Amino acid sequence: MSRAADRLTRFRGRLELPLIAAPMFLVSGVDLVAAACANGVIGSFPTVNCRTTEQLEAWLTSIAQRLATLEQTSGKAAAPWCPNLIVHRSNARLADDLAVLLMHRPEIVITSVGSPEPVIKQLHDIGTMVLADVASIRHAERAVAAGADGLVLLTAGAGGQTGWLNPFAFVRAVRQFFDGVVVLAGGVSDGVALRAAMTLGCDLAYMGTKFIATQESAADPRYKAMLVDSSADDILLTKAFTGLQTSMLRPSIVAAGLDPDDLPQRGAIDIGKDIDIGARESRPQRWRDIWSAGHSTSGVGGIVPIADLVKQTVSEFRSAG
């Protein structure tokens, strides 16, 4: 048995699919996470989606209660829930959020925007599997050296702040030096793509964009409708909004009164800096008014319950086997 297979054994029987509902800023909330887990998909969310550490505590309590009720009534164990910690020094709440997670003892935690080293020992001490978000071979090697149990490979075509490496090349390069858990992030739009990721050498994959267009997602209804009406041709890769390569929806840029073909080269648009999630200013803000999506936008055919999305993906995955 490989190291990856051994580490996933403890919850494989609770998964309908080898899939993580990706952690999405301002989109992944209690309803999405609980519904994903209830339907056999790992439900993840950025802890910064909570306005405060106290709200994070409330979210985790609510998720745990919902899933406990489900397990009692159905007799079926839910998939794990999975917080996503921003470990960069700019996250002033990191220590407080980590303390809450340690109290709730998640089975899996994803770390992003930096090395998992600052949090990995404490999470390992409570038996948590740590998956590190990486976008390059060098960062993958550093995460492995820090002791990460798995790597989330952010590849070209992912929504939001995206990767740039081809998924085929990235996965195979990582598999040359790492036998832990590998998660593919970027472009997984259905069960066929998920099966291909497994063939490539992955253990799990992210699906993000299609979960935005679900009834349980916290996304603006206009955002969901825009995904239904858009395709991969409507995704613009730009540094104009964040200073980093980011996949954004062209129609949302137009709706904000900007020309997607005439944007500054790098992070020059002043549309609000670090976003106050509770703020509702009149000027457009990235993420809130200018929306992200991945290349899998072409796979979004409607706004559906998560149960229906998972059922369809399961059918596609099995047929592709």
Identify whether the C-beta of residue 153 lies closer than 8 Å to the C-beta of residue 184: yes
User: What CATH number did the domain enclosing 107 receive?
Assistant: 3.20.20.70
The pLDDT score that the predictor gives to residue 2 is: 55
Q: Environment class of residue 212 by beta-carbon count within 10 Å: exposed (0-12), middle (13-18) or buried (19+)?
A: buried
Q: Mark whether 119 and 258 lie in a shared domain.
A: no
Identity of the amino acid at 251: P
Domain that holds residue 283: 221-295
In this predicted structure, which of 123-127, 195-199, 242-246, 249-253 has the lowest mean pLDDT?
Answer: 242-246
Number of structural domains found in the chain: 2
Region of 251 please: left (phi>0), alpha (psi -120 to 50) or beta: alpha
The pLDDT score that the predictor gives to residue 271 is: 43
Q: Mark whether 127 and 229 lie in a shared domain.
A: no
Going by C-alpha positions, the residue among 268, 267, 266, 272 that lies closest to residue 284 is 272
**For tokens 């603006």, what's the residue?**
220
Residue 133 CA to residue 185 CA, distance in Å, equals 9
Q: Mark whether 249 and 198 lie in a shared domain.
A: no
The pLDDT score that the predictor gives to residue 280 is: 41
In a 3-state reduction of DSSP, which class is residue 110? strand
Would the pLDDT of 104 be above 70? yes
Helix (H) or strand (E) holding 236: strand 235-238
In a 3-state reduction of DSSP, which class is residue 68? helix
Phi, psi of 286 (to 5 degrees): -60, 150
Going by C-alpha positions, the residue among 91, 141, 159, 150 that lies closest to residue 123 is 150
Sign of dihedral through CA atoms 152, 184, 135, 237? negative
Residue-wise pLDDT tens digits, 302-312? 999 999 999 99
Would the pLDDT of 115 be above 50? yes
pTM of the model: 0.92
The pLDDT score that the predictor gives to residue 208 is: 96
Q: Mark whether 15 and 31 lie in a shared domain.
A: yes
Residue 140 CA to residue 174 CA, distance in Å, equals 7
Task: Tell me the average pLDDT of the chain.
Answer: 91
Q: Mark whether 205 and 273 lie in a shared domain.
A: no
Q: Mark whether 119 and 203 lie in a shared domain.
A: yes
Q: Mark whether 236 and 206 lie in a shared domain.
A: no
Residue-wise pLDDT tens digits, 242-289? 888 899 999 999 998 889 998 877 655 544 443 343 444 445 566 678
The pLDDT score that the predictor gives to residue 281 is: 46
Q: Mark whether 206 and 287 lie in a shared domain.
A: no
Going by C-alpha positions, the residue among 293, 250, 295 that lies closest to residue 157 is 295
Q: Mark whether 79 and 163 lie in a shared domain.
A: yes
Q: Mark whether 68 and 84 lie in a shared domain.
A: yes
Q: Mark whether 143 and 82 lie in a shared domain.
A: yes
**For tokens 């978000």, what's the residue?**
133
Residue-wise pLDDT tens digits, 26-39? 999 999 999 999 99
Q: What percent of the chain has pLDDT over 70?
A: 91
When pLDDT is averaged across residues 220-235 and rounded to a whole number, the result is: 96
When pLDDT is averaged across residues 112-123 and rounded to a whole number, the result is: 95
Q: Mark whether 101 and 125 lie in a shared domain.
A: yes
The pLDDT score that the predictor gives to residue 4 is: 62
Buried b (16+ CB within 10 A) or exposed e, 231-249: ebebbbebbbbbeeebbbb
Distance from chain centroid for Cα 8: 18
